[in-house]
Amino acid sequence: MNRARIELCRKLRYTFADPALLERALTHRSRSGDNYERLEFLGDSLLSLVISAELYHRFPDLSEGELTRLRASLVKKETLAAIARDLALGECLALGGGELKSGGFDRDSILADALEAVFGAAYEDRGIEAAEELVRRLYGPHLERLDARAIPKDPKTRLQEHLQKQSLPVPTYNVLQVSGDPHNQVFVVECRIPDLSLSTKGEGATRRAAEQHAASQALERLQAT
């Protein structure tokens, strides 16, 4: 294990019993077929579960929708990438030549995916309790800073409220396309507002994420007019 990865383990306060799992978690598909994508899939589910449980117990008075929006603010790509940068995780990544030249070691999407893969690797390495502890440790400062009084509204909610103020009907959402492998799908969704002759498209790893993206695009168009 090289010096950067030894330092990463020190910052994680976690030592892998099987270092090959960490190696895989830090390897991008541009470098090898034995890459982090499957571990990322595992880590994404683990992260959602741990953060959901933390919010459930920390905020007993919040509704399901409010908890969902708080969770989204924590597990989003930007938050994961910020944590990864604090760990200097980018210095540990194994990338192909093209990704190295294009700055992939500091790209939000790659950093976020790799950190989720590290969570998945910890689960495979020592089981769920050790992996949960790792997630809680890294997310501790973010959880402590959460303000339930400032819960962000998601784009679909904000778009609906915007239209209701103008006495317009709510938009409709239609799935236009689903592509990719079952564990790595991409959804394309259309948001239509017939009364305004407005239609936008959004993409995401889930139908919900694609709907939110499409709603966000619609909001931008409406606010620009």
For the annotated binding site, the residues are 40, 113, 116
Buried residues in 54-79 as b, exposed as e (16+ CB within 10 A): bbeeeeeebeeeebebbbbbbbeeeb
Pick the CATH number of 3-150 from 1.50.10.10, 3.40.50.1450, 3.40.50.2300, 1.10.1520.10: 1.10.1520.10
What local confidence, expressed as pLDDT, does residue 9 receive?
96
Pick the CATH number of 155-224 from 3.10.20.600, 1.10.3720.10, 3.30.160.20, 3.40.1640.10: 3.30.160.20
The sheet with strand 198-204 has its strands ordered as 172-179, 186-193, 198-204
Closest CA to 143 of 66, 74, 43: 74
Cα separations in angstroms, 158 against 150, 217, 220: 14, 12, 11
Bridge partners for 188 per DSSP: 177, 203
What local confidence, expressed as pLDDT, does residue 63 receive?
87
For the annotated binding site for Mg(2+), the residues are 40, 113, 116
Report the predicted TM-score, pTM, of the whole model to 2 decimal places. 0.73
The catalytic residues are: 44, 116
What local confidence, expressed as pLDDT, does residue 83 receive?
97
What local confidence, expressed as pLDDT, does residue 151 receive?
75
Taking the chain (225 residues) in runs of 10, the rounded mean pLDDT of each run is 91 96 96 95 97 96 87 92 96 92 90 97 97 97 86 85 92 95 88 95 92 94 82
List the domain boundaries for the chain.
3-150, 155-224
